[in-house]
Amino acid sequence: MRILLCLLALAGFLNCTKKEPGVPYPEGYKKWSLLKSALITKGEPLFEPFGGIHHIYGNSDAVAAIEAGKPAPEGAVLVFDLYEAVSSDSGDAEGAHKFVAVMIKDTEQFKSTGGWGYDAFKGDTRERFVKNAATECFACHQSQERNDFVFTTAQK
């Protein structure tokens, strides 16, 4: 009986520590390093999908790789945080939160998309809206293969 209880406890522990498939929401990402911010305005090529004010955050693994000019290690996470741009006489400011896009490096789970998993969450919710990461995200990121499929580079 004691052995059975130990085996059940061990099975429960192993099940709880098993990594969930997919791209998780990046809890606490605004406390990570801010790699860059930019404003994409009307008339720019990327305005339709990404118009507004965006911030790029990286966890410590992603930042270290970008600063070293090396491919990201397993577990590296980058976040593209997008807000509407609201203009006034005093300048542009963040408006409504449009989405949080996430890239996570996991070469085993995401072999078909360069070792990166992609997803996006609407506004301030956990509602996912990427239906096909290969066509909606990776198709564009493929142009950055020489840079580990990442657009953000170290600031000089």
What does the pLDDT read at residue 91? 87
Q: For residues 106 and 155, which has the higher predicted lDDT (pLDDT)?
A: 106
Q: Is the pLDDT of residue 134 over 50?
A: yes
Sorting pLDDT into bands at 50, 70 and 90, what band is 132?
Answer: very high
What does the pLDDT read at residue 20? 59
24-50 per-position pLDDT tens digit:
999 999 999 999 999 999 999 999 999
Separate counts of helices (H) and strands (E) for the chain: 5, 5
Contact between 57 and 78 under an 8 Å Cβ cutoff? The reply is yes
Mean pLDDT of the chain: 88
Percent of the chain with pLDDT over 70: 87
Instruction: Give, as one character, the DSSP assignment of residue 112.
Output: G
Class of domain 33-147: alpha beta
Q: Is the pLDDT of residue 17 over 60?
A: no
As a whole number of angstroms, the longest Cα–Cα distance in the chain is 75
84-122 per-position pLDDT tens digit:
999 989 888 999 999 999 999 999 999 999 999 999 999
What does the pLDDT read at residue 153? 86
Sorting pLDDT into bands at 50, 70 and 90, what band is 151?
Answer: very high
Contact between 73 and 61 under an 8 Å Cβ cutoff? The reply is yes
What does the pLDDT read at residue 92? 87
Q: Is the pLDDT of residue 2 over 90?
A: no
Where do the structural domains in the chain lie, given as residue ranges?
A: 33-147
